[in-house]
Structure 1
Amino acid sequence: MPNIKSSTDLRNNYNEISSFCHETSEPVFITKNGRGDLAVMSIELYNEFMSRYELYQLLQQSEADFTNGRTLSFEDSMKSLREDLKNGQL
């Protein structure tokens, strides 16, 4: 169940909310005038979400490349990798 706090709670109980976020690795949803306004989370959880997002973006790009025929044979892929290694690009 989501942890929901008001903006007043955030202002008055910052340390408690920060501790909750770090200890549980869960976000806290902040409301303003009774409506959802922010999601507050630890920097570790944020970095985890961003890493997943970047991975999903790469997977989506790879899927689009495959769908549009932008692929290489195994031999061509290995040749390209070897060239990149030789040139210090990896």
Structure 2
Amino acid sequence: MTDQMIRPVSDLRNNFADVSRVVHETGRPVFLTKNGFGDMVVLSMEAYEQLRFDSEIYDKLSEAERQAEATSVRFSVKDLLADMRREIEATGV
């Protein structure tokens, strides 16, 4: 990752408003150090939720790839949509 914002952890106490502004305006994390070593990462709630969403999507895609490797059965989009329509009609949704 380029252009990382790295600041001492004391900035949370001394410059909280600035740290908050940076994470909200840029959408990027601020890396905090303690005694010269990485200690914490601060993100806006929006950036954190996007990170979680991206991670969940990646996990689901990885699981789908593992399942696809375990079988030779394949489905077309047309077949899947037809199955979904039948399920919706059967449940009355």
TM-score by length of 2: 0.81
**RMSD over aligned Cα, in angstroms?**
2.0
Q: Kindly tell me the number of residue pairs found equivalent between the two proteins.
A: 89
Superposed CA deviations along residues 32-59 of structure 1, whole A, max 9, x for unmatched, are 1211011101111111111111110111
Work out the percentage of aligned pairs sharing the same amino acid: 34
Query: Which segments of structure 1 move beyond 4 Å, counting only runs of 4 or more?
Result: none
Unaligned runs of 5+ in 1: none
Residues 88 and 65 (structure 1), Cα distance of their counterparts in 2 relative to 1, 3 Å cut: farther
Unaligned runs of 5+ in 2: none
The answer to whether the Cα contact below 8 Å between 1:65 and 1:71 also exists between their aligned partners in 2 is no
Residues 16 and 52 (structure 1), Cα distance of their counterparts in 2 relative to 1, 3 Å cut: same
The answer to whether the Cα contact below 8 Å between 1:29 and 1:40 also exists between their aligned partners in 2 is yes
Aligned to 1:51: 53
1:39 aligns with 2:41: yes
The answer to whether the Cα contact below 8 Å between 1:29 and 1:38 also exists between their aligned partners in 2 is yes
In 2, Cα distance between the equivalents of 1:48 and 1:28? 16
TM-score by length of 1: 0.83
